[in-house]
Amino acid sequence: MGEDGAVTEPRPALRLVATDLDGTLLCSGGTVTDRTAAALAAAEAAGVQVVFVTGRPPRWMEQLSAHIGGHGVAICSNGGAIVDVRRGELLESFPLAADAALAVVDILRAKLPGTAFAFEYPEGFAREPEYAVPMWGEQTDHPIGPAEELLGDGGPVRGLFKLLAKHPDLDPDTLLTEARAAAGHLAEITRSAPIPLLEISAPGVTKASTLAAWCAGHGIDRSEVVAFGDMPNDLEMLAWAGTAYAVANAHPQVLAAVELHTVSNEQDGVAAVLEELLDRISRTAR
């Protein structure tokens, strides 16, 4: 292990860095430190692609443009959308069909009473009246109504990136387990927040599936990818990537599943690994 806590074992060739944002790359204030920004810039200068792979919806990437706008691509909504960060352009999406979303809503309402729903889609955000304002706030006007109205014919929600399901008091991991048992056959269900909030995508759509498709389109093998994450919604991506790291502050399930660990997001864990990998590449090239 290096001085900064990063594992220093030899790794395969590096062509793409895939990193989660909140809790992994970003500090608690939602920003990128100078050290991390320098590591990302050094990776791209060495010919390594940087792809942000996040549960955040595309619209929340605008809040980060000052910190990561110099880098090209973000896979948002747990694989539901691919965004050109610099231009703020939606490149591709993998939506959850309205009928499937309504089926999940019906099941979770019956199985987990008190659950309320919200919807991320290309035009913005919509929610049921019982769904409290999102964690980071929602300052713009948005549609409010029952799921059946928002998703139905004539409703505003089209091309659903992600269905959100919030429960008032269940333990977050218990909520995830019970929701998967009840509706996991209809959609991908995961979580990344510290509160009882589920993130639901189309069947087969995960961070891993969209990252794999992106890499295939650019001739990049999974063995050439190093990935970083901290929460259950990162597990598929971390399992898929040739090399994967969990930050020290990761969910216990992630720490147990991922062999390689680095220091926490507050200690620039991603940068610590990238500095070592890039130094190794530089020394090999000499």
Q: At what angle do helices 34-45 and 269-285 cross, to 10 degrees?
A: 30
Both tokens of residue 119? 């919807």
Same domain, 144 and 216: no
Question: Is residue 35, in this structure, part of any structural domain at all?
Answer: yes
pLDDT band for position 128 (50/70/90)?
very high
d(CA 130, CA 218) in angstroms, rounded, equals: 43
Q: At what angle do helices 172-183 and 98-111 cross, to 10 degrees?
A: 120
d(CA 174, CA 191) in angstroms, rounded, equals: 11
**Residues in Cβ contact with 282 at an 8 Å cutoff, skipping those fewer than 6 apart:** 46
pTM comes to 0.90
Last residue of a domain, one of 201, 233, 267: 201
Same domain, 32 and 89: yes
Residue 9 has pLDDT above 50, yes or no: no
The CA-CA-CA angle for residues 241, 12, 229, to 5°, reads 30
User: Residue 80: its pLDDT value, please?
Assistant: 97
Reduce the DSSP state of residue 246 to 3 states and report it: strand
User: Residue 2: its pLDDT value, please?
Assistant: 47
- What does the mean pLDDT of the chain come to? 90
Q: What is the mean pLDDT of residues 232-237?
A: 98
CATH number, residue 278: 3.40.50.1000
Same domain, 103 and 195: yes
Question: Is residue 185, in this structure, part of any structural domain at all?
Answer: yes
Same domain, 40 and 107: no
Question: Is residue 11, in this structure, part of any structural domain at all?
Answer: no
User: Residue 3: its pLDDT value, please?
Assistant: 47
pLDDT band for position 60 (50/70/90)?
confident
Domain that holds residue 175: 98-201
User: Residue 189: its pLDDT value, please?
Assistant: 98
pLDDT band for position 255 (50/70/90)?
very high
Same domain, 77 and 119: no
Question: Which CA distances in Å does 4 have to 202, 261, 271, 284?
Answer: 39, 11, 9, 21
Question: Is residue 251, in this structure, part of any structural domain at all?
Answer: yes
Last residue of a domain, one of 201, 224, 241: 201
DSSP per position, 47-71: T-EEEEE-SS-GGGGGGGHHHHTTS
Last residue of a domain, one of 201, 224, 243: 201
Residue 12 has pLDDT above 80, yes or no: no
Same domain, 23 and 152: no
Question: Is residue 188, in this structure, part of any structural domain at all?
Answer: yes
Domains in the chain, number = 2
**Residues in Cβ contact with 252 at an 8 Å cutoff, skipping those fewer than 6 apart:** none
The rounded percent of the chain whose pLDDT value lies above 90 is: 78
pLDDT digit string (tens) for 13-33?
A: 799 999 999 999 999 888 889
pLDDT digit string (tens) for 99-127?
A: 999 999 999 999 999 999 999 999 989 99
